[in-house]
Amino acid sequence: MKHYFIVAVILTLAFTSCQNVQKQTVTSDIEFNIQLTDAEKANGVLTEEMMWKFGRVSNPKLSPDGKQILYTVSYYELATNKSRTSLFVVPADGGDAKMALNLAGSQFNQVWISSTEYAFISTHNGATQAYKTTLSGGSVKAITSIDGGIESFKISPDGNSILYAAEVKIGKDFSDTNPDLPLVNAKGYDDLNARHWNHWNDVSYSHIFVAPLSQLPVTKGTDIMENEAWDAPMSPYFDSDEIAWSSDSKSIAYSCKKIMGKDFAVSTNSDIYLYNMNSGETENLTSDNLGFDKYPSFSPDGNYMVWQSMETPGYEADKERLFIMNLNTKKPVYLTEHWDQNVGGFAWDSDSEKLFFISGINATSQIYSINIKTLEIEQYTKGHHDYTSVEVNGDLIVGSKMKHSMATEIFAVSRSTYDEKQLTFTNKPIYDNIEMGKSEERWITTSDGKKMLVWVIYPPKFDPNKKYPTLLYCQGGPQSTVSQFFSFRWNFQIMAAHDYIIVAPNRRGVPSFGAEWNAQISGDYSGQNIQDYLTAIDQIKKEPFVDQTKLGCVGASYGGYSVFYLAGHHEKRFKTFISHCGMYNLESFYGSTEETFFPNHDLGGPFWDKNNKIAQRSYANSPHKFVEKWDTPILIIHGGKDYRIAYTESLQAFTAARLRGLDSRFLLFPEETHFVLKPQNAVLWQREFFGWLDKYLK
């Protein structure tokens, strides 16, 4: 389960080389400092506070001549809960990374105009607008001056037009219909989709606008979705990659879910729409497919459009298929029909014959290409890591890469030799002073004779002669890979730094092991994947370095459900549990979640459908049905603004635990969502997390 957000703070920084800098000078009362204290250096391992000193690298963009890379780095200040995102530039062949420009506020959403000029969004004047400047540091010129600001933008390939996403109001709210009640605070709904992820829906929508660049700044554009009551880019991520200019600058393709009310709640049916700049007409290119269609991308020669597609209606974690359409015939072709892996993150080769993309395999994410004519697939990277983006120019591939022991950095890969080269070293001052734990791949035989990949992460100062308390990590999603991610929330290294062994199984129901493995969990929440968890911990606990008397079980979202379920079925294996934002009572979850298609597919349908055997089996195995077997201390955590899984799920579980006399604690973050994102809340989360574990396992 993902969430898109931007946090901006108005201040001024002056950076030196990103690789070598240890302290950034600021000209306000806010200071971003990645230099470790003497105590942190002496400790030598990752800590909760240190996590907020990391610079968070994202969105590398390769210049048209392939010589420079623009990217963003976000820094946070723990003392104030504030952040800033800045633009950096690094040579594509290696060298010092430098701040691209020094403006107050945050800068992001950068795009190249030419090899010497680029555009970006900035908050330096208090509103989010697009600007442009040169790589050599020329003056900054405003591209837009839109009332209310913009959310994202893209400049047409011919440089003559701009599209931007901005919020519009469609319809009336209570303040409009009741002008004599100016302080009214209420919302009314006559259909479903009352709320989505982290907000209550109102009469505001994200729309795409287009305007000529003949006179700057642009103050008003044409709404290509005029009077349409839906979002593009789509909620909740509002991802600008869901919008694309055609190569001839005459059309705009965008993803949109143009259905409302109950249909919106029970369906995943989004489509790719093509807006004609000359006629003003919009055409649905993917109406035949009833699942997700998104991320359109045009070939450089203008002949083709590719996109990501899911086939099964209502299945949000279906196979991510690659489709292509000849724009002359408008006939869709399924390119990866005979390849059992997902695709995403597209980048075209200059000859329009190869398409590069990211795909998961065996709990890692790698860079691939496909020849659109021969369908030959080539893999360019291998190893224990996750590539999360790809850009191509000639022999050069540039991508974002992370692994369990490294937050995201930018790497270059040679197409001809497959050699990798690290280009950015943003957090080197931290890594130079701490030790990371070893991450080891294990293949374990499951109860039904399958092979399952399990990551085992060791404490940084691991001593094979010691016995360590050990944690079973239960993944959320449920269809989310336990990959080589470096998370700033559920981070394996910080767990290991607290002297725990972590057992992280890629149980049934996660991608990168084929569609069958991924799909098996739907309708079988309490079945084989639960056995996979138990098999993993039972196998690893046999190791001489594991203290079998000190096992814990932790997880969030579907992982939180797993914790609640295992609490009633673990047969004395675990000494304590921690559940974050978990599903406890599947019937109340069904009635309170907003994307109804999710439980319809994963649980089999509504709980009142007595003739549906799959649904009835799911609800019969709801964790709350087994609370009489709970016998183990449990910490339960939730965000008050989590609307995918309402906080009342955790409150019910806590109430049951206390009434049963169990040592238990309920930790609520009223302003957080499905994720705890504010720095001080996140540190408190970690302190409570490890305080609870240490109480029972050490």
DSSP assignment of 202-242 equals: -SEEEEEEEEESSSSSB---EETTTT--S-SSPTTT--GGG
pLDDT grade for 102, boundaries at 50, 70 and 90:
confident
- Within 8 A by CB and 6+ apart from 228, the residues are 170, 205, 207, 258
Burial readout 33-51 (b: 16 or more C-beta within 10 A, e: otherwise): ebebeeebeebebbbbebb
Q: Which residue in 532, 642, 650, 664 is the catalytic one?
A: 642
Q: Is 152 in a helix, a strand, or coil? A: strand
Alpha-carbon dihedral 75, 62, 97, 360, rounded to 10 degrees: 60
| Confidence check: pLDDT of 25 > 90 | no
The secondary structure of 94-107, three-state, reads CCCCEECCCCCCCE
Using CA atoms, how far apart are residues 497 and 493, in angstroms rounded to an integer? 6
Whether residue 48 lies inside any domain: the answer is no
For the record, the structure tokens of 170 come out as 């469609």
Using CA atoms, how far apart are residues 579 and 94, in angstroms rounded to an integer? 44
pLDDT grade for 31, boundaries at 50, 70 and 90:
low
Laid out side by side, the sheet with 634-639 consists of 439-445, 451-457, 501-505, 468-474, 546-556, 576-580, 634-639, 664-669
Whether residue 498 lies inside any domain: the answer is yes
Whether residue 488 lies inside any domain: the answer is yes
Residue 82 φ then ψ, to 5°: -105, 165
Q: Average pLDDT over the chain, rounded to whole? A: 94
Instruction: State residue 137's pLDDT score.
Output: 87
Whether residue 510 lies inside any domain: the answer is yes
Could you tell me if 512 and 549 are in contact, meaning their C-beta atoms sit under 8 angstroms apart? no
Whether residue 55 lies inside any domain: the answer is no
For the record, the structure tokens of 590 come out as 């069904």
Using CA atoms, how far apart are residues 427 and 408, in angstroms rounded to an integer? 9
Query: At 674, which CATH number?
Result: 3.40.50.1820
| Confidence check: pLDDT of 11 > 70 | no
Per-residue pLDDT of 256-276, as tens digits, reads 999 999 999 999 999 999 999
Per-residue pLDDT of 182-203, as tens digits, reads 999 999 999 998 999 899 999 9
| Confidence check: pLDDT of 120 > 80 | yes
| Confidence check: pLDDT of 9 > 70 | no
* Number of separate domains in the chain: 1
pLDDT grade for 456, boundaries at 50, 70 and 90:
very high
Using CA atoms, how far apart are residues 362 and 160, in angstroms rounded to an integer? 45
Q: Is 637 in a helix, a strand, or coil? A: strand
- Within 8 A by CB and 6+ apart from 685, the residues are 489, 637, 667, 669, 676
Residue 642 annotated as catalytic: yes
Sign for the CA dihedral angle at 5, 554, 343, 388 comes to: positive
For the record, the structure tokens of 286 come out as 């993917």
Beta strands in 126-279 (DSSP E): 129-134, 141-142, 152-155, 161-169, 195-196, 199-200, 204-212, 222-223, 243-245, 251-256, 271-276
The DSSP letter of residue 37 is P
Using CA atoms, how far apart are residues 528 and 521, in angstroms rounded to an integer? 7
Using CA atoms, how far apart are residues 272 and 496, in angstroms rounded to an integer? 44
Tell me, rounded to whole angstroms, the distance of Cα 106 from its chain centroid: 20
The H-assigned helical ranges of 380-527 are: 428-431, 492-497, 515-519
Tell me, rounded to whole angstroms, the distance of Cα 53 from its chain centroid: 21
Please state the pTM of the whole predicted model: 0.94
Per-residue pLDDT of 282-316, as tens digits, reads 999 999 999 999 999 999 999 999 999 999 999 99
Instruction: State residue 325's pLDDT score.
Output: 98
What share of the chain has pLDDT > 70, as a percent? 95
| Residue listed under structure tokens 């991802």 | 239
Instruction: State residue 35's pLDDT score.
Output: 82
Using CA atoms, how far apart are residues 237 and 4, in angstroms rounded to an integer? 5
Whether residue 613 lies inside any domain: the answer is yes
Alpha-carbon dihedral 118, 120, 123, 124, rounded to 10 degrees: 0
Residue 570 annotated as catalytic: no
- Give the CB-side neighbour count of residue 130, counting CA atoms within 13 A: 27
Using CA atoms, how far apart are residues 535 and 566, in angstroms rounded to an integer? 13
Whether residue 579 lies inside any domain: the answer is yes
Residue 559 φ then ψ, to 5°: -65, -35
Q: Could you tell me the residue range of the domain that residue 540 belongs to?
A: 435-697
What type of residue is 592? S
Instruction: State residue 8's pLDDT score.
Output: 30
Whether residue 439 lies inside any domain: the answer is yes
pLDDT grade for 403, boundaries at 50, 70 and 90:
very high
Q: Which residue in 557, 562, 622, 650 is the catalytic one?
A: 557
Using CA atoms, how far apart are residues 431 and 44, in angstroms rounded to an integer? 9
